[in-house]
Structure 1
Amino acid sequence: MRVGEVGLLTNDVIRLADFYKALLDIENGSNDKVHQTLIAEETMLTIYNDGSAKNNNNQNICLAFTVEDMEKEYQKLLELGAEIIEKPQMRPWGACNMSFYDPDRNIIYFRSFT
């Protein structure tokens, strides 16, 4: 069994999808207000409005992305106006990690390995 899709439920698909498109340097050619697939590799990343109201108090899930250049990604986040939770920091296990909120306040981690 494999994870087939990670979906972020939101009240504003365009806003959240545009943030991830800029963050991930991708373009999906869609401005759909209900559903957008951003990554369609083995595990898909989708942004979806299922019609129910969201409170944006997401506290039980996070996303983690492995990046090549932590400093470059950190600067991009600052330019996007993302709220940084923790600046890039080396961990005892040899990874450099940082965390921030996306526009819906989902917690996102970036990590890189030396």
Structure 2
Amino acid sequence: MNFVSIRVITDDVARLVGFYEQVTGVTATWSTPDFAELATPACTLAVAGTRTVALFGTGSAQPATNRSVITEFRVADVDAEWERLAPLDCEIVQKPTTMPWGNRSLLFRDPDGNLINFFTPVTPEAVARQRR
């Protein structure tokens, strides 16, 4: 089994896709006005509009209600990303901090309030865990 993507449901696909293009530097591929994907070498972030929810069953997903999932991106330098993201006026949850498990982490929210973690492994153990 391979984990290949995560999908975020939103009321404003263009706004959320634009935000993720800015923070990741990845250009989205649009399939319809209600669905776009940002493909990275490891995984794909899909963004879909609320009209697509009916295809999965009415009420199966609700935009801007997530408080349990963190979308994580490994980056080369968390502190450099912190400086780069400053002009975007994101809600910062945690400034760059080295976590007990050895990752340096920056937590912020997308325009719908979804939590994002940019992290860089900084200890030898954390670097070794990231090798796959």
| Higher Cα radius of gyration | 2
- Equivalent pairs: percent with the same residue? 27
Counterpart residue number, 1:12: 12
Counterpart residue number, 2:67: 59
- RMSD over equivalenced CA pairs, Å: 2.1
Equivalent residue pairs, number: 114
> 1:94 is aligned with what amino acid?
G
User: C-alpha distance in 1, partners of 2:40/2:78?
Assistant: 24
Given the alignment of the two structures, is residue 34 of structure 1 paired with residue 42 of structure 2, yes or no? no
Q: TM-score when scaled to structure 2? A: 0.76
Query: Is contact 2:29-2:36 (8 Å) kept?
Result: no
- Write 1 or 2 for the structure with the bigger share of helix: 2
Q: TM-score when scaled to structure 1? A: 0.87
SS in 1 for 2:23: helix
Equivalences for residues 101-112 of structure 1 within 5 A: 101-112=109-120
> 1:43 is aligned with what amino acid?
C
Q: Give unpaired runs (5+ residues) of structure 2.
A: 54-58, 123-132
Given the alignment of the two structures, is residue 94 of structure 1 paired with residue 102 of structure 2, yes or no? yes
